Amino acid sequence: MKRSGSLYILIAVVLAVGAIIFLAVGGLGDNLVYYWSPSELRAHYDAPTGQNEDPLNRAVVRLGGEVKPGSIVRGDGASDLSFVVTDGKQEVVVHSTAVPPQMFREGIGVVVEGVLASDGDFRSERIMVKHDNEYKAPTNGEKPAYAPANGTM
């Protein structure tokens, strides 16, 4: 009697926890792509479905790729910045008002959050730098990229 009662509660707990994990992780696997490549972003918005034509309907998305060497242009303000994100096939010009982290440089991987404006450029207020899994010492005589100074943090 007592055993079967607790068994039902046990099954309920298992189902509840399992459902939460399934929703969280299953949804992540199938639907949620953390960022789009420039090619995917272009393909999505250039498709003549009509649905995505109105710029006001465009959702905030993440765009990931490499900062094209030579494309970084800094404006007057500290946070007035534009650069090109590329995946080797397509390019997207990004205008950003975010303060980038110290590792932001040409050739590095970035993920930017924002919207693709109707002029075909990406407007972002959030830049994230993607560090790879390589950890190296500075090469002979080279100073580390960052020497502790008065940061803007």
Partner 1 sequence: MDGMIQGGWEWVAAAWGISLTVFATYAVLLHLRIRHERRREENR
Partner 2 sequence: MSAPQRRIAPEHWFGVAGLILLAVGSYLGLVEAPPERYMGEVGRILYIHVPTAWIGLLALTAAGVFAGLYLVQRRPRWDDLLTGCVEVGVILTAMLLIQGSIWARPTWGVFWTWDPRLTTAAILLLSFIGVLALRAFVEDPQRRARWTAVATLVAVLDIPIVYFSVKWWRTLHQDFSSPETVAGAMHWPLRINAFALLALAIWLILRRARLSRQRRSARATAPPATSTLVAGD
Residue numbers at the binding site for partner 1 (CB under 8 A) = 74, 77-79, 81, 99-102, 104, 146-149, 151-153
Closest CA to 84 of 70, 99, 74: 70
Mask of contacts with partner 2, 37-56, x by CB under 8 A? --------------------
Binding to partner 2 in span 58-97, by CB under 8 A: 64
Provide, rounded to whole angstroms, the least separation between the CB of residue 118 and partner 2.
Answer: 26
Q: Contact, 66 vs 112, CB < 8 A?
A: no
Which partner from the list partner 2, partner 1, none does 48 bind, CB cut-off 5 to 8 Å by kind? none
Interior CA angle at 106 toward 116 and 84, to 5°? 20
Which partner from the list partner 2, partner 1, none does 130 bind, CB cut-off 5 to 8 Å by kind? partner 2
> CA-CA distance, 30 to 23, in Å (whole number)?
11
The residue whose two tokens read 């991987």 is: 109
Which residues have CB under 8 Å from 64's CB, separation 6+? Answer: 34, 35, 36, 37, 85, 109, 110, 111, 112, 130
Q: Which residues of the shown chain bind partner 2 in the complex (CB under 8 A)?
A: 6, 9-10, 13-14, 17-18, 20-21, 24-25, 28-29, 32-35, 64, 98-104, 111, 126-139, 142, 144-148, 153
